[in-house]
Amino acid sequence: MTTGFDSEAGNVAEDVVRDVAQGTARDASAHPTANPTAHAALDEALEEAVRDAGLTLRPAAGHIGADIDGVDLADGLGDAQVAAIRAAVLRWKVVFFRGQRLDHAGHVAFARRFGEPVVLRRRGSASPADFPEIETTADRLELGGRFGMEHDEWLRRRRHTLLRGWHCDHGARVDPPAATILRAETVPPYGGDTTWSNLAAAYAGLSAPLRRFAGQLRAEHRLGVGYQPRPGDDAYVRHLLDHQVASVHPLVRVHPETGERILNVNGYYVEQITGLSRAESAAILELLLAEATRPEYTVRFRWEPGSVAFWDNRATIHLAPADNAHLGFPRTMHRVMLTGDVPVGVDGKPSQPVTGTEPGRW
């Protein structure tokens, strides 16, 4: 089984990124995220790869996000284009394509150039039956009703803190997806933006003592963290008990392709830092999540029909919109996730499954 951004053209992108990043990953102060000289060298190499592929790349924010133009994703990609896009994702963590005309088949074909798509065992009725690799995010609107709640109540009970919505995809698994490719079909005329944050930049931005401390820690990531049960019988609580998913991940993971150190926190799945009291854990996680979501590490994307976002799920967290549900406009998105590997900490030790998850089994 392949994991990560595997492709026939992968070696080119690896050369672009690793020449600068991997050899310096042991020292965060030397990492391109924190070192302007290294950053400039990496950007120069990436620009050359993009130019050789006939593409144009425009950074969208200081630490994360870039727009890529000059390619029709539905036409199929050459190896040079695959390598350049892959390198851009590794460098900028999320890249955006506008005005694309991908259908479901084209979406899956594009994803396969970069890795093995995840096939979920359970999807909602909005997802296309003939394309098991695609999950339609309109399915999310069905979830509250499935458990006897209106969608607004469903969101309110799940979001116990202001930062609760920040997440990586399927972070409670022992092998979260390596990447996600999200395509917009129908979007509201306003509202509905998505925001991403760069967890490599967040780690590099910590003080050296805090980086060292965080690198020693592990935390349990669990589905359903912080859910506020309904009075009496709650169908979602019963669902969580019957479908528990949890893993213990390093609080700082080493990126398997770039060697970057990633602050592996989110507001959606992280339950508790192992070995610490609940009070100690809560205070430290609150601090680290606040650092991970500082505005300077983020980029916000305004969707249009045909837009595609491609992000590194190992190095980012993202925030789905919460400003459009009351507007009544439809928002239909389709996503394909690429299979990932088991995270490894700075001590070389991998994540461990707790319950309901094993590598490669979806």
Contact call for residues 172 and 221 (beta carbons, < 8 A): yes
* Pairing outcome for strands 332-338 and 179-186: antiparallel
In this prediction, the residues of the chain whose per-residue pLDDT falls under 50 are: 1-2, 12, 20-30
Torsions phi, psi of 98, nearest 5? -110, 160
Tokens of 2: 């392949």
**Catalytic residue flag (residue 104):** no
* Pairing outcome for strands 246-250 and 218-222: antiparallel
**Catalytic residue flag (residue 169):** yes
The amino acid present at 329, given as its one-letter code, is F
How far is Cα 8 from Cα 60, in angstroms, rounded to an integer?
28
**Catalytic residue flag (residue 167):** yes
- Residue-wise pLDDT tens digits, 170-219: 999 999 999 999 999 999 999 999 999 999 999 999 999 999 999 999 99
Q: List, as one string, the DSSP characters of 246-312.
A: EEEEESEEE-TTT--EEE---SSSEEEETTS-HHHHHHHHHHHHHHHT-GGGEEEE---TT-EEEEE
How far is Cα 312 from Cα 343, in angstroms, rounded to an integer?
13
The amino acid present at 197, given as its one-letter code, is S
Catalytic residue among 249, 318, 331, 334: 318
**pLDDT for 37:** 65
**Catalytic residue flag (residue 318):** yes
- Residue-wise pLDDT tens digits, 286-296: 999 999 999 99
Catalytic residue among 91, 158, 170, 335: 335
Torsions phi, psi of 92, nearest 5? -100, -5
Tokens of 83: 């390598």
**pLDDT for 163:** 85
Which 3 state secondary structure label does DSSP give 344? strand
Catalytic residue among 63, 167, 255, 334: 167
CB atoms within 10 A of CB 275: 11
What is the length of the chain? 362
Contact call for residues 353 and 247 (beta carbons, < 8 A): yes
Tokens of 348: 């070389």
Q: List, as one string, the DSSP characters of 209-226.
A: HHHHHHHT-EEEEETTTT
Catalytic residue among 157, 169, 255, 314: 169
- Residue-wise pLDDT tens digits, 211-235: 999 999 999 999 988 788 889 889 8
